[in-house]
Amino acid sequence: MNFRNWWYRVLNWKKHIIAIFILLFVIAIIKLFNTIIDADSKKIQEKYIGDNYKEFKLNIPPGLNFAGEPVPIEDFAVREKIDKEFVRSSFWTSKSTYHIKRAMRWFPLIEPVLKAHNIPDDFKYVAMVESGFTNTVSPKGAAGFWQFVESTALKYGLEVNEYIDERFNVEKSTIAACKFLNDAYKELGSWTLVAAAYNRGIGGISKQIEKQGYNDYYNLYLNSETARYIFKILAIKEIITHPENYGYKNKFEKAKGLQTKNIQIDSTITDLQKFTQQLHVDYHLVKLLNPWILQNKLPNPDKKEYTIKLPIKGQENYYQLFAAELETVGKFADKKNISKDTVVEIQKDSTQKTNGKDKTKNR
């Protein structure tokens, strides 16, 4: 081997070594840069987010039940469905937080009605899942907290016409729901199946029981909405009962009941606005407290007795409490003969009151 060839080999060997060192140096710089970025990101997260968005592992609690009927959480398929609904309903989602907040206000009105009709307390969560405690109207025409379609509402004693829609009367619609639930229990014999029937219908559940040979909700093959229904209810129930386990720092306190007074009317009201003026109460508040009165009059040729809620002097937060109703009343006006001018008036006036620009008290 001559000197020249030997020297070229040495030079090539040195080039390889240098290239390797350069590559390692670049990798070290990149890792250092990433470490600095991660550290800065962590500091920012701790500063602006803190403990609000920790990652939690969901543990399905033992002894889970609906209306006293045990949930077979040892079943893998059941456990997976529960876990999915818990994740969907947990961790500060604005929608679930808003619905829970509203539930805390309406539960005190619904619970005694359920108890009086021997319906398990867990059925208050059915109303929550159905409507989120907003007087919404579905594309199929189901309305109110309990989401009755008109034919079912009429069957269970609610009045629905162009002037009155008692699906928006909390007490009366809850009584109607209790009647339906008791009928369903007589037919199905299981409160879990009754809750499923509230979504699918008594006939729909009965048909599947007969077809499949199972009378157990957890073993029935059902459409996707009904198959999720009980698990959604279970998730909401558990989160409200034990909020600290699911990312909510504070317990959900029940709100004080709305301060109202009732009057009984058994005659026609030809002009609701003039009627409220005579009583020295705010017309817009009367409309909010009685969403079942659809128009500016209340015909009553049969002299039926209606209970109308009136605001109490001194309570100033009605408009904040009824924020959701103000959002939905405009939408409902498109489906019923409600004066659009009245809807605009209510929304405009409520905005002024909630912003503190108009704090007129009841006279």
Q: Residue 148 forms beta bridges with which residues?
A: 143
Question: CATH topology for 65-246?
Answer: Lysozyme (1.10.530)
Q: Residue 242 forms beta bridges with which residues?
A: none
Q: Would you state the pLDDT for residue 101?
A: 80
Domain ranges for the chain, please list them: 1-50, 65-246, 260-354
H/E run at residue 52? none
Distances (CA, A) of 134 to 129, 143, 243: 11, 9, 22
Q: Would you state the pLDDT for residue 230?
A: 96
Q: Would you state the pLDDT for residue 321?
A: 58
The residue behind tokens 């909390």 is 170
> pLDDT tens digit string along 144-172?
999 999 999 999 999 999 999 999 999 99
Distances (CA, A) of 158 to 29, 80, 143, 144, 192: 74, 39, 12, 12, 25
> What pLDDT tens digit does each residue of the chain (363 aa) get?
555 555 455 556 566 666 666 767 777 777 776 776 666 555 544 544 444 444 445 567 888 999 999 999 899 999 999 888 887 776 556 667 777 888 888 999 999 999 999 999 999 999 999 998 888 899 889 999 999 999 999 999 999 999 999 999 999 999 999 999 999 999 999 999 999 999 999 999 999 999 999 999 999 999 999 999 999 999 889 888 887 777 676 667 776 666 788 999 999 999 999 999 998 888 888 988 899 999 999 999 999 999 999 988 655 566 555 555 545 444 444 444 444 444 444 444 444 444 444 333 333
> pLDDT tens digit string along 295-340?
999 999 999 999 999 988 655 566 555 555 545 444 444 444 444 4
| Strand blocks (E) in the chain | 65-66, 69-70, 260-265, 306-311
Q: Residue 264 forms beta bridges with which residues?
A: 307
Q: Would you state the pLDDT for residue 331?
A: 46
Q: Would you state the pLDDT for residue 44?
A: 47
Distances (CA, A) of 154 to 50, 103, 151, 256: 52, 26, 5, 32
CA distance linking residue 305 with residue 265, whole number of Å: 5
H/E run at residue 4? helix 3-48
- Residues 6+ positions from 7 with CB-CB distance below 8 Å: none
Q: Would you state the pLDDT for residue 260?
A: 82
CA distance linking residue 347 with residue 84, whole number of Å: 38
Q: Would you state the pLDDT for residue 117?
A: 97
CA distance linking residue 237 with residue 241, whole number of Å: 6
Burial bucket for residue 125 (CB in 10 Å: 0-12, 13-18, 19+) = buried
